[in-house]
């Protein structure tokens, strides 16, 4: 989302998180499959998990607290993200995205 590369060693190794879009476990029961995951830095991961960042079906990342576009989701060609999981993620915070989805953007 933010394109940050979190370098954790002098040799340049980097760290990232695997974030499930539709959360695993109850009550969400999201699947542990590639179509339901994002590769995020730790900051974006926690903001996404708490609904402060959400993603539209056309892969715009929205800062729901500021009410503005944060970024276009950077995607790698062979990683298909299933938009049904994005909708499921947004539905956990009813109302946060309505202004964005219905307003003049």
Query: Which residue from 19, 21, 38, 41 is in contact with Zn ion, where contact means CB under 5 A?
Result: 41
Under rule CB under 5 A, residue 2 binds Zn ion:
yes
Residue from 4, 6, 99, 101 binding Zn ion (CB under 5 A)? 4
What is the token pair recorded at 100?
């964005």
What is the phi/psi pair of residue 69, to 5°? -70, 130
Q: Is residue 38 part of the contact set for Zn ion (CB under 5 A)? A: no
Residue nearer to Zn ion on the CB measure, 15 or 29: 15
Give yes or no for residue 23 binding Zn ion (CB under 5 A): no
Nearer to Zn ion, 41 or 55 (CB): 41
Interacting residue ranges for Zn ion, rule: CB under 5 A: 1-2, 4, 41, 44
């Amino acid at each position: 989302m933010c394109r940050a590369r979190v370098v954790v060693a002098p040799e340049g190794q980097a760290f990232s998180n695997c974030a499930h879009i539709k959360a695993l476990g109850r009550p969400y029961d999201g699947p542990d499959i590639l179509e339901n995951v994002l590769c995020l830095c730790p900051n974006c991961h926690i903001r996404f998990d708490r609904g402060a960042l959400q993603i539209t079906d056309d892969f715009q990342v929205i800062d729901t607290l500021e009410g503005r576009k944060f970024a276009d989701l950077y995607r790698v060609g062979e990683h298909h993200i299933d938009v049904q999981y994005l909708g499921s993620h947004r539905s956990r915070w009813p109302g946060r995205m309505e202004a964005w989805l219905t307003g003049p953007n």
